[in-house]
Amino acid sequence: MSKSFDSAGLTYRQDYFDDRAAWAALVSLLDDTFGIDIGPLQELGGPDPTSMPFGWFAADDTLAANLSAFGMPLVLNGRQINAAAFQSGAVRPPWRGRGLYRDVTCKALEWCDRRQFEAIVLYTDKPLLYEPYGFRSLPMHRYCGAAPKPHSATKPARKLDPWNKADLALLQEALKTRAPVSDVLAVSGNAAMFIVNTQLDTEVRLSWLDAEKAVIAWKAGEAGRFSLLDVVATEIPPLAVILGRLGEGPEHVDVFFSPDKLDWRAEALAFDGGTAFMVRSTTDLAPASPAMLSPMADF
């Protein structure tokens, strides 16, 4: 990893999210590279406060290469893990092949090592790129099964709109105090990514269960199917209660995390979302049973 790189004409910077021009340069880089617009994040609470970007800038303030790290506390097999995550890794075409991405990756790893994170996680469609740095892929599994009979709802759920100030405040407070949605594998933080993912996938619906003080992230699937993406609450309600409050009566349910807190049994099925979930850790960390992180924690 100590190979030389060519940074001619570029300036290295880190910790630049407070610079509006630099933030705009990152928004542009990710939009041009992946077609992902993270611009709305600034109006919906801003980036995760633990974020640390590493990048090379051209003279005109164009961001040529970037990789960002941030704190990503996890629960794994019932144990709290002090973890970090990598995201927003990209290099613009004119500067590819110069070793810039290898450089920002090494800088991000050094930053994480100094802070003694027990693990670093990331999603990528190029897992071979990260294996030389000690990352390994973990299989992901969703759960599929017959829907339980919905509980009758005396107080139906209501829609949450993050662009409504009151709803955003309610959502942010719920994210601050949430319990992990699973004890097998789940985030125990990550408010910023949850909120931005509500904007990146237009099919995601957010509903508020007032009696349970719970936010439900879900999708209406094909006829007779229901997809549960995440539950944000201090106590996770059973799936039958969730369906009843939402007024949904599907035949089948797909849950995109381990359902150990949902009072519901289902079959674990391998999930291929087009990206690999990878981990670099000081020990051989892995969930004790099939699991995946909620798509609302996708980074």
Q: What domains, with CATH codes, occur in the chain? A: 11-137+275-281 (3.40.630.30), 142-270 (3.40.630)
First-to-final CA distance of the chain: 25
> Is the whole-model pTM more than 0.85?
yes
> What's the confidence (pLDDT) of residue 1?
47
Strand partners, 146: 252
**What is the per-residue pLDDT for 40?**
78
Whose tokens are 């291929």? That residue is 272
pLDDT in tens, 117-151: 999 999 999 999 999 999 999 999 999 999 999 99
Tokens of 134: 């000690």
Cα 69 to Cα 9, 14, 53, 54, 274: the distances in Å are: 25, 11, 6, 8, 22
Q: CA–CA distance from 284 to each of 8, 49, 118, 258, 288 (Å)? A: 40, 28, 11, 20, 12
Instruction: Return the pLDDT at 3.
Output: 67
Q: Which tokens in the block code for residue 93?
A: 């075409």
Q: Measure the CA–CA gap between 121 and 83, rounded to whole angstroms.
A: 7
Give me the residues of the chain with pLDDT under 70, please.
1-3
pLDDT for 47 equals: 82
